[in-house]
Amino acid sequence: MEYWLPVFYMAAMGLALLVYVILDGYDLGIGMLLPLAEESEKDVMVASIGPFWDANETWIVLGVGILLIAFPIAHGIVLTHLYLPVTIMLMGLILRGVAFDLRVKAGDHRRTLWNRAFFIGSTVAACAQGWMLGSYITGLEDSTLSLVFSVLTAATLPALYLVLGCGWLLIKTEGRLLDRAIGWARAAVWPMGLGLLVVSIATPIVSQTIADKWFSLPNFLWLAPIPVITSLLYLGLLLMLRRDELLQGSRNWLPFAAVILICLMAGLGLAYSLFPDIVMNRMTIWEASASVKSLQFTLVGVVITLPAILVYTLFVYRVFRGKATTLSYD
C-alpha cells in the first residue's frame, strides 16, 4: 500500500492533466484561430466550444488538486518556481472567460475588442502552459539551456493546440468555415510536427537523467514504440489532411482522433521519462508524498471524483454532439 498509493495518485494526476491538454487544448486553439475567420464565422467557432470550454478547465483543477493533497512538498516547489507563468496563465484564462460573455453582451460596437481579448487570452494561456511544461521537464532549473528549451515548448504547445482546434472545427462546422478549417489544419500541422520533433531531440540534451534513461538497455527497447507510433500517426494525419472527401464526410473526426493519440504518446513518453521522480533530479513520488493515512483518507474522494467528472464530460459531449450553430444569448 505504501508503495502503490503514490503511484496511483501520480497516474491520476497525469491522466487529469493529459485530458486537460486535449480538451482545453482544442478550445484554446480555436481562440487562437479566431482572428483568421470572418465575423459571422467567429460566432459559430465560439458556439462550437460554448457548452464545453468551462467544464474542460475542470481537469486542470483536478490535476493540481491531486498534486496538492498527495504531494504537498512537490506542490510547494513546483508552484513556487512557476509562480510567474502560472499567474500569467490564470490571467489569460480569466481574460478569455470574460471575453467569451462580453463579446456578445457588450454590444456589436464592442465585439471586435472582445474578440481580440479572447484571442489574446487564449494565446497567453497556451504559451504559458508550454513554458511551464518545458521548465518542469528540465527539473525547474534556471540555466540558459533550460530557458531556451522552455521557449521552444512555449512555441510548440500552441502549435499543437492549433491543430487540435482545427480538428474540432472539422467535426463541428460545415460550409465555408469547414473549408477554412481544412486550410488552417494543413498549414498548422507542419509547425506542430517540426516543434514536436525538435522538442524530442532537445529533451535528452537538456536533461542528462532523461538521456541516460532513453539510451540505455532495456529502457531503449521499452521506449522505442512511442516515437515509432507517433511518427506513423503524424504521417497518417498528413495523408488524411490531403483527402477532401474524408475531411468533408462522415469520417472527419479521424484527424482529431489522430492528434489525440499523438498527445497520448507524448504523455506516455513524458511519464516514462520522469518516473519515479515528481520533480526531476530532486525527489521521487515516495519522498514527496503525504503520509499513508492521509493518502488513504483522500483516496475515497479521488475514486469518486475522477469517474464522476469523466462520466459528466462524456455525457455533455454526447448531449451537444452534432454541428454547431450561431451562438445565442437569448
In a domain, residue 96? The reply is yes
Q: Which residues are CB-neighbours of 122 under 8 A, at least 6 positions away?
A: 27, 28, 29, 30, 31, 32, 34, 92, 96
Secondary structure of 92-155 in the HEC alphabet? Answer: HHHHHHHHHHHHHHCCHHHHHHHHHHHHHHHHHHHHHHHHHHHHHHCCCCCCHHHHHHHHHHHH
The arithmetic mean of pLDDT across residues 172-177, rounded, is 89
Q: Provide the CATH number for the domain around residue 183.
A: 1.20.1630
Nearest to 35 by CA among 101, 94, 121: 121
Measured at the alpha carbon of residue 204, what is the angle toward residues 198 and 205, in degrees to the nearest 5? 80
Q: Report how many domains make up the chain.
A: 1
Q: Would the pLDDT of 28 be above 90?
A: yes
CB 203 within 8 A of CB 210: yes
The pTM is what? 0.93
pLDDT band at 327 (very low <50, low <70, confident <90, very high): low
Residue 329 lies in a domain: no
Res. 1 pLDDT band, cuts 50 70 90: low
In this predicted model, what pLDDT tens digit does every residue of 258-294 receive, in sequence order?
999 999 999 999 999 998 899 988 899 999 998 888 8
CB atoms within 10 A of CB 220: 11
The H or E element spanning position 253 is: none
Whether 325 maps to a domain, the answer reads: no
Q: Would you say residue 275 lies in a domain?
A: yes
In a domain, 230, yes or no: yes
As a whole number of Å, the end-to-end CA separation of the chain is: 54
For residue 319, pLDDT over 70 is answered with: yes
Q: Give ∠ CA 221-225-228 in degrees, rounded to 5.
A: 125
Measured CA to CA, the distance from residue 206 to residue 137 in angstroms comes to 9
DSSP 71: -
pLDDT tens column, 104-151: 776 667 788 899 999 999 999 999 999 999 999 998 888 889 999 999
Write out the residue range of the structural domain in which residue 124 sits.
4-319
Tell me if 324 is assigned to some domain. Answer: no
